Every structure is written in C-alpha cells, then in structure tokens.
Amino acid sequence: MQSAEISSRAFRFFEQRGHTAVPSASLIADDPTLLLINAGMAPFKPYFLGEAPPPWPRAASVQKCVRTVDIEEVGKTTRHGSFFQMFGNFSFGDYFKEKAIPWAWEFLTRPVADGGLGLPESKLWVTVYTDDDEAEHIWRTDVGVSPDRIQRLGMVDNYWSMGVPGPCGPCSEICIDRGPEFGPEGGPDTNGERYLEIWNLVFMQNIRGEGPAKEGYPIVGELPAKNIDTGLGLARVAAVLQGVKTIFEIDTTGRILDLAAELSGTKYGQNSKDDIPLRVVADHILASVMLIGDGVTPSNEGRGYILRRILRRAVRMMRLLGAQEPVVHELTTRTIDVMSPTYPELAKEQDRIHGTAVGEESAFLQTLKSGTAIFDLAAKEVRTSSSLILPGDKAFQLHDTYGFPIDLTLEMAEEQGLSVDEEGFRRLMAEQRARAKADAAARKTGGHGDKTVYRDLLQLGATEFTGYDQLESEATVRGLIREGERIPAASEGDIVEVVLDRTPLYAESGGQESDAGTIVADGLELEVLDVQKVARKLWVHQVRVRRGELTEGQEVLAKVDPEWRLGARQAHSGTHVVHAALRQVLGPNALQAGSYNKPGYLRLDFSWTGGLSLETRSEIEEVSNIAIRQDLPVRAVYTSLPEAREMGAIALFGETYDEEVRVIEIGGPWSRELCGGTHVERSSQINELILIGESSVGSGLRRIEGYVGLEAYRFLAKERALAMKISDLLQVPISEASERVSALLKQLRDAEKEVTQLRAAQLKRLAGEFVNDVMDVQGVSVVARHLSEPANNDELRKFVIDIRDRLGDRPAAVTVTTLSNDKPIVVSAVNDKGRERGLKAGDLVRVAAKVLKGGGGGKPDIAQGGGTDPLATVDALREVTRVIGEAVRP
C-alpha cells in the first residue's frame, strides 16, 4: 500500500467519525517555542493550551515534521529520519480514551477491503503508562487485546508533556512485531527495533509543574477539558505494509535513495558502509526540498542553519560515495516528482526549490574546492604565532562559518605537519549545542510558559484593532498580567501587561515593529513599551505605569505616537516599493524571504544568487524613487486567500494567514502583497528612499537595507559632510576625491610591494651566505645556523627550502632558527638523499624544539616548530648537529 493511500484511508476513516480534515501546516512554526514543526500536534497547541478556542471539536491531519536533534544518528537505525509525516486524530474536550483506543485498533486491523490497513491483530502489542488502569481496561475488555501483549512502561516512555509546566498526560503506544530477524522477543520493553512503535495515543488530562523535562516532575492537577492527541508514523506504517526493512526503502524515500545510488555508482544493500550514507542522502534531500518548499532558505542561524546543515551533509555524503559532479538538481527533481502528488505546491515552486538547493550545493562545492585556500589562511596564522597546533576555535570557525567538515580539516592539517585541537573543537561544538538547547528552553518558557492566563481573556473575544484609520481609541482594560498571573491593579513604576478590548497600537508582526504610544485616563499615564499578539487575536501591551493607578475594568484612551506611526508607515510601504523594484529589475525570482522595518529604516531579505553591482543597486533605487514620485495610490483590499493568489498577490513563505486576508496594493498590480501592516495613503508620502547596503545573509539569500523619509535626508546630509571633509583633507574638489584616493592607494600598494621584494632579496642573499657555511657530517651536508633577521614561519620555511635546494643532489639537512615576535621558531628540511641516509625533518625539529622548550613536527622532507626560550637557539642547533652525526648511516 502506497503512502498516499495510507493517508487517504486514515482521513476517510476519521471523517466518517466526525473529524474535520485539516491540511498540513507549514514546517515554519507559527510558535515562538519552535524553529520548525516537529510533531503532528504542534499546529494545534493553542487549542490544547487554552490560548484560543478550537474551530472544531474533532480534527484529523497529516502533518509534515522535521526533527534534527540527533541528526548524526539518521540512517543508522531503521526507523528514525529527520523528515517524517505524522497522521493524527485530535479531540479538543470532545471524546477521550473510550473512543480513541478502539478507533485506533479498528483502523489498523480492519480489512483493506473495508477501508482499514489490514494489520494482523496477533502481531500488535500495546504499552500503557504504569498506573493507567483505565487504558489497560479498555484495551483488554473493549478491544480484546490479550493481557500478555500489554506492557506497562514508565514516565520516559509513556507520559507526554512539552517539557515545561502545562498540559500533560499518559500515553498508550501500539507496536507491531516485525519478527525475530529484527531482534529478541519480549515485547516493546525489550526491543524497539523488532517491536516497532507505529501509533502513539496521548491522553492529555493533567497539568504538570516545574521539574525535569522527561520525568520526575509533579502532577499538580487536572485539565478542565480532557483532550486526545495521536500520532501515526506514516513512513513506519508504509515500511510494514510494503514489506521493507527501513523507512528509507518505502515508495517515497526509496526512489530518492535509488537515484542517489545510481548517481554515486553504488548499490544499496551490499554493505553498510555505503547503505548508511545513502539513507542519509535520501532523508536529507527529502527534508531539504520540503523545507525550501515552505520558504526556508539556507543561512547560518535558526531554521536556515538546519537546512544548510542537512543539505550540505547530503552533498558531502554523495562525495564520499564517489559522486564527483553536482547531483542536487537531479535529486531534488526526483523528490519533487515523488512528493508533489501529496503536496502539489512543490511542483509549482520547483524552479525556486531547484535554484535554492543548487545554489547551496554550488556554494558548498566551492568551499570544498577552495578549502585549501581557506585552511591555508588559518594555518598561516598558526605558523606566524610559532605553533603547530590549529586551535579549536579556528577549526570550529571553519566548520561553523564555512560549513567545512572537521574530518577534512584534520586531513589537511596532517598534510601540512599540523595537528588540530580536537578537544577544543568538541568543547565549542558542545557549547553551541548547549546554547541551542538553552535557547529552545528559553523560547519554550518565554514564548509559551503557562499561557492559560490568557484563556479567559480570549473567551471574551478578540481585541479590535482600530489603528488602520485611528491614532486614538477609547478602550476598556480587560485584564492586567504580571509574571504570568492576573492582577487586579498596578501602581506607579510597575511594568505589566495590559489587554484592552480595542486598540490603535500596532502589535509587532509581518516584520514591522510595534507602535510607540501611551495609554491615559484621569490621573493615569502608561508608557507603551511593546505590543505583541497572543493566538493572533489578543493584543497584549507591555506598559510602564508612569503616573497613577491602573485597575481592571478601567476606561482609558490608547494613543499612538503620531511621529512614530508616520515613520513606520513610510518604512513599511517603502519595503513593498523596494520589493516591487527588485522584481522589476531582477525578475520574478527575486522573492522576499523576510523583512524588518521601523520608523525610517527598512531591511529586505530576498532570494538571489550573487551580489548586486553598484549599477544594479542604483537602478533599483531609481525605480523605487520613480514610483514614489508618481504618487501611486495605496489601497487595502480584503478578500479570501485563494482570491488573493488569483489576483497575483505575493504571500510571504512560512507566514500563516486567516481565511480573510488583507492585500496591500501600490499602483494596482505593480505591487500586490498580503500584509497586515500600517501603510501610507499614497506613495509620495514615503518621501525619499535611499539604499544604504546590500550583502549576503546565506547561500542564495541577499539582504538590502535602506532609509526613508527624514532618516534618508539625515543619511544624505552625513554623506555630504563626509565628502566635504575628505575633499578638504585631500585639497581637491569633491568631484576629484575618488580619483585622488585611488591614486594614494596605488602608491601604498606599490610601496608595500617594493618592501616585500627588498625583504625577499635580502633573504636570498643570506641564503647564499648560509650555503657557504656548510658542514660535512659523515658525508651529509649540514647547515645548522641561527638567522639574526627576525622572520615569520612562512619566510623561514621558504628560506630553509631555498638553502636545501642550493645544496644540490648530495645528502643534505638544513635546520635554521630565528625569532618571531621575540619567540624562537625552527624549520628543518632534508632532501631525498638525506632521507635515504635515515634523516627526517620532523625528528630534527622535535630535537630542536625540545631544547627551545616547545614542540613541533611535520613530514620527513619539511617540518617546523617553536619554543619559549629565545636564549637556547645555539644549544638547539648544536643538539641537532649531534643527533645528525649519530643518526646517519655510513
């Protein structure tokens, strides 16, 4: 049975039982606690948490999910992947265990001809929470599962919570016995590979308190409504029904895996050395396509970093498997072909998906190709500091900033006679993971915490936003909140959250900062510090009480700072204008991928490969200002999302929209975007628009920044003042300043080049002198001298090689010391004939470095080292000469 058929059967089964079929949400979570959707229930969290009333009492969905907590383990087990689809049926206070348990069993075991999956009852096992007698009773008496196939497990395995105070409850898992080839018998408690979990039923009925994430936290009460949250792993069920051993071999992922094997010249199933990388490639390419399809672009932070990491990991695996040419276009084409029957939007966005994925592959292949240059720069810095160990932070930088694999860094270090501080690298990696976990925990606690405090306020209805056409609104204080709890009043100096029934103050969203303003009444003044939305319906104002006392139920006047709003409107409308100008100049593929604006300032991220020339930036700026000068009308249109798309309105990937959407038009079809922000009434009100910068923020992603209105004028004034100052310093007209600066820079470069040439000539002359001072040690020409001229590692290395080459074909060994930054360094070189006599450069350097109270090493032909005792150079060279005499064979 194909994966799509499993999904459609699940939907039909539960729709017949009163569930509303809900399409998959975007992988980009509309949730401050998550970077990406990682569970089927995640889009429904506001309903479980009581932050918003559920639109339906029962729902069913197949949700696409991404988890990358243990990305290194992907492919090593038969059942874990970074991308997966989770079917679930959900009840929001409607039904509970008495229906969820029998329905799950019925769907799994009902004959295929009758709409079920036809799994044999004799192979199914059940687990329940250790003290959940109710669930076990239903399994035994209502469903008829034999007691010897029901196991009780503890909190880690069979109890669910979000890891923070809030809803929680016991679980019951359904597992299938895949047979003795997967491990010993004994049930799910014995072996998770053999007894594969395919469906988890969560009975969300309790409230947990503070404590560890997995177990050991207190259960402090019961939820007012008992909820059902289930998760059926689509890939796992497909593997069982299709008779394959792993989730990587099913009808979807398996086709990607087969192509990866073909492109790399390998064959799946012949050896685990190739099988694991092939599984990784199939899984990671699938996850990458789904992420890009939902609007994620590669970057060095957040969800963009997750995409970059898994896509580059897939490319690296293909290289290890033997693929030398670019492969991502073919792999993404296969993936879109496999997944578009279920997610048709992938086919519509295939050009963008290909462009993003191929651009990232090209960037990474260039990194690998130019890896020697990147590494050499780091290695040069190491040698200059008289060390032979590449610091952990350098290796981490290569990995974190350039996506350079650590194994490649280790290999290149060894080739250059260097070692890597792996312990330091691993420590920094661990610190990064710890920061990521702490950040996730902070998002959980700060983003969600216990938001049941808003439940009652949400039930009173949504906050009415009046700010599109008003700067002041009379309002009633519905609630006051401090540190997550309702309070009756607040006094002067307090910082609290205020919920009003109506407000003109814009809540931060869509890239636009929240409004500044005040809330006043007789004897009361509140400074508005921030405005945020809860469940997209409740405006929550963070305020400081400047004067008076604030009480719940009080009548107030909410006021927007008019200057702030003017600047914010100019900046947000300016962002739309720049986006339209980008698309006009660069073409329709220059799509917005994120934005930020505040009074006077705008920033726009957009999909594009390669930097923009000064001429292109000037053209974009000119198109923008022409549109402003044309005084184009700005209009807001309210319509449905399908109608908005039909109009050609641009939606920001990853954003979540209501059934009714707001479309902002500037000049009619010239600029049409879905947007809830505040805007000017005509384009001329934006005034001047100046672009101040353009840069890369990730592979295939550029950022453009600008000023509008008064900030643009201020920027131009500063630029003019700077130009005048440079003109005065150079004593030339402003129009000639650029040429004069260029001429001065050329003179400086020429002078630096001349110094370098003189330095090289001096060292070449000294090399000739050193050759004339050669010693014969048992038939080996030996030069062991100190260079009184200070030099860095690179200069000394070239100097020693020059001497060795001048000694001709006779056996030769050269060791020279010098000072670099007042610390001794040493380089040894041995020619072919010298190595035939038993001499190795690495050994000679280690001898000298020991005397210098340091360390060193390298290859037999060339090696380097350093120390801490600058007075020991003579003794070090004497010891090298002695060792050569003992080591050479007659």
Asked if 551 and 581 sit in the same domain, the reply is no
pLDDT of residue 449: 42
Structural tokens at position 514: 């929240």
The tens digit of pLDDT for each residue in 502-511 reads: 999 999 988 8
Proportion of the chain above pLDDT 70, given as a percent: 93
- To the question of pTM greater than 0.85 for the whole model, the response is no
Count CA atoms closer than 13 A to 517's CA, side-chain side. Answer: 26
The tens digit of pLDDT for each residue in 691-703 reads: 999 988 766 778 9
The tens digit of pLDDT for each residue in 561-579 reads: 999 999 999 999 999 999 9
Structural domain containing residue 181:
3-244
Amino acid at 213: A
C-alpha span between 182 and 197 (Å, rounded): 13
Residue 503, number of CB atoms within 10 A of its CB: 28
Which is it for strands 823-830 and 812-820: parallel, antiparallel or unpaired?
A: antiparallel
Predicted confidence band of residue 339 (pLDDT cuts 50, 70, 90): very high
What is the rounded average pLDDT of the residues 155-160? 89
Residue 829, number of CB atoms within 10 A of its CB: 28
Which H helix or E strand runs over 367? helix 350-369
Complete DSSP assignment for 483-495: TTEEESEE-TT-E
Which residue is it, tokens 């329905």? 103
| CATH at residue 221 | 3.30.930.10
| Domain termination site, one of 195, 214, 244 | 244
Which H helix or E strand runs over 65? strand 58-66
Residue 102, number of CB atoms within 10 A of its CB: 15
Q: Judge contact between 799 and 779, C-beta under 8 A.
A: no
Listed in sequence order, the residues at least 6 apart from 388 whose beta carbon sits closer than 8 Å to its beta carbon are 382, 417, 418, 419, 855, 856, 857, 858, 864, 865, 866
- ∠ CA 753-754-756, nearest 5°, is 65
**pLDDT higher than threshold 60 for residue 447:** no
Task: List residues bridging with 775 in a β-sheet.
Answer: 782
- Distance between start and end Cα atoms, the chain: 78
Count of structural domains within the chain: 6
**pLDDT higher than threshold 60 for residue 20:** yes
Which residue is it, tokens 């497909």? 238
Listed in sequence order, the residues at least 6 apart from 783 whose beta carbon sits closer than 8 Å to its beta carbon are 770, 771, 773, 774, 775, 803, 807, 812, 813, 814, 815, 816
SS3 category, 331:
helix
Asked if 577 and 543 sit in the same domain, the reply is no
Listed in sequence order, the residues at least 6 apart from 772 whose beta carbon sits closer than 8 Å to its beta carbon are none
pLDDT of residue 446: 39
Q: Is residue 733 part of a domain?
A: no
The tens digit of pLDDT for each residue in 413-425 reads: 776 778 888 888 8
**pLDDT higher than threshold 90 for residue 255:** yes
C-alpha span between 563 and 571 (Å, rounded): 12
Q: Judge contact between 420 and 413, C-beta under 8 A.
A: yes
**pLDDT higher than threshold 70 for residue 656:** no
Asked if 495 and 608 sit in the same domain, the reply is no
Helices (DSSP H) in 807-889: which residue ranges? 832-836, 841-851, 873-887
Amino acid at 497: E
- ∠ CA 330-331-336, nearest 5°, is 100
Q: Is residue 146 part of a domain?
A: yes
Q: Is residue 845 part of a domain?
A: yes
C-alpha span between 304 and 325 (Å, rounded): 25
Contacts 24+ apart (CB under 8 A), 356-359: 356/292, 356/297, 356/298, 356/607, 356/699, 356/700, 357/288, 357/289, 357/292, 357/311, 357/328, 357/329, 357/332, 358/326, 358/328, 358/329, 358/332, 359/609, 359/699, 359/700
User: Which of 267-271, 273-277, 369-373, 829-833 is most confident?
Assistant: 829-833
SS3 category, 640:
strand
pLDDT of residue 363: 79
C-alpha span between 378 and 183 (Å, rounded): 49
C-alpha span between 223 and 94 (Å, rounded): 13
**pLDDT higher than threshold 80 for residue 796:** yes
Q: Angle 350-369/302-321 helices, nearest 10 degrees?
A: 70
Proportion of the chain above pLDDT 90, given as a percent: 54
| CATH at residue 878 | 3.10.310.40
| CATH at residue 695 | 3.30.980.10
Q: How far is CA 70 from CA 20, 74, 75, 76, 77, in A?
A: 34, 7, 11, 11, 12
Asked if 603 and 542 sit in the same domain, the reply is no
SS3 category, 769:
helix
Q: Is residue 644 part of a domain?
A: yes
How many residues in total does the chain contain? 890
Binding site residues for Zn(2+), as ranges?
572, 576, 675, 679
Q: Is the dihedral of CA 841, 843, 847, 850 positive or negative?
A: positive
Asked if 838 and 881 sit in the same domain, the reply is yes
C-alpha span between 66 and 79 (Å, rounded): 14
**pLDDT higher than threshold 60 for residue 393:** yes
Work out the mean pLDDT of the chain and round it to a whole number.
Answer: 88
Q: Is residue 747 part of a domain?
A: no
Structural tokens at position 787: 């260079």
**pLDDT higher than threshold 70 for residue 341:** yes
Structural tokens at position 807: 């000694």
Predicted confidence band of residue 856 (pLDDT cuts 50, 70, 90): confident
Q: Is residue 736 part of a domain?
A: no
Binding site residues, as ranges?
572, 576, 675, 679
Which H helix or E strand runs over 842? helix 841-851
pLDDT of residue 445: 39
pLDDT of residue 831: 94
Which H helix or E strand runs over 602? strand 601-607
Asked if 226 and 327 sit in the same domain, the reply is no
The tens digit of pLDDT for each residue in 486-545 reads: 899 999 999 999 999 999 999 998 889 999 999 999 999 999 999 998 878 899 999 999
Burial 389-409 (b: 16+ CB within 10 A, else e): ebbbebbbbbbeebbbbbebb
The tens digit of pLDDT for each residue in 277-321 reads: 999 999 999 999 999 998 888 876 778 888 988 998 899 889 888
Phi/psi of residue 550, each to 5°? -105, 135
pLDDT of residue 77: 75
Asked if 675 and 626 sit in the same domain, the reply is yes
Asked if 711 and 573 sit in the same domain, the reply is yes
Q: Is residue 358 part of a domain?
A: yes
Asked if 375 and 364 sit in the same domain, the reply is no
pLDDT of residue 17: 95
Task: List residues bridging with 868 in a β-sheet.
Answer: none
Burial 553-586 (b: 16+ CB within 10 A, else e): ebebebbbbeebbbbbbbbbbbbbbbbbbbbbbb
| Domain termination site, one of 516, 545, 560 | 560
Which is it for strands 83-92 and 219-233: parallel, antiparallel or unpaired?
A: antiparallel
Q: Is residue 740 part of a domain?
A: no
Asked if 188 and 286 sit in the same domain, the reply is no
Which H helix or E strand runs over 386? none
Asked if 556 and 574 sit in the same domain, the reply is no
Q: Is the dihedral of CA 96, 97, 99, 101 positive or negative?
A: positive
Q: Angle 3-15/234-242 helices, nearest 10 degrees?
A: 120
What is the rounded average pLDDT of the residues 190-219? 87
The tens digit of pLDDT for each residue in 630-655 reads: 999 999 999 988 888 888 888 775 56
**pLDDT higher than threshold 80 for residue 397:** no
Amino acid at 861: D
pLDDT of residue 589: 79
Asked if 497 and 526 sit in the same domain, the reply is yes
| Domain termination site, one of 700, 719, 738 | 719
Burial of 485 (0-12, 13-18, 19+ CB in 10 A): exposed
**pLDDT higher than threshold 60 for residue 442:** no
C-alpha span between 154 and 874 (Å, rounded): 71
pLDDT of residue 373: 67
Predicted confidence band of residue 107 (pLDDT cuts 50, 70, 90): very high
C-alpha span between 641 and 643 (Å, rounded): 5
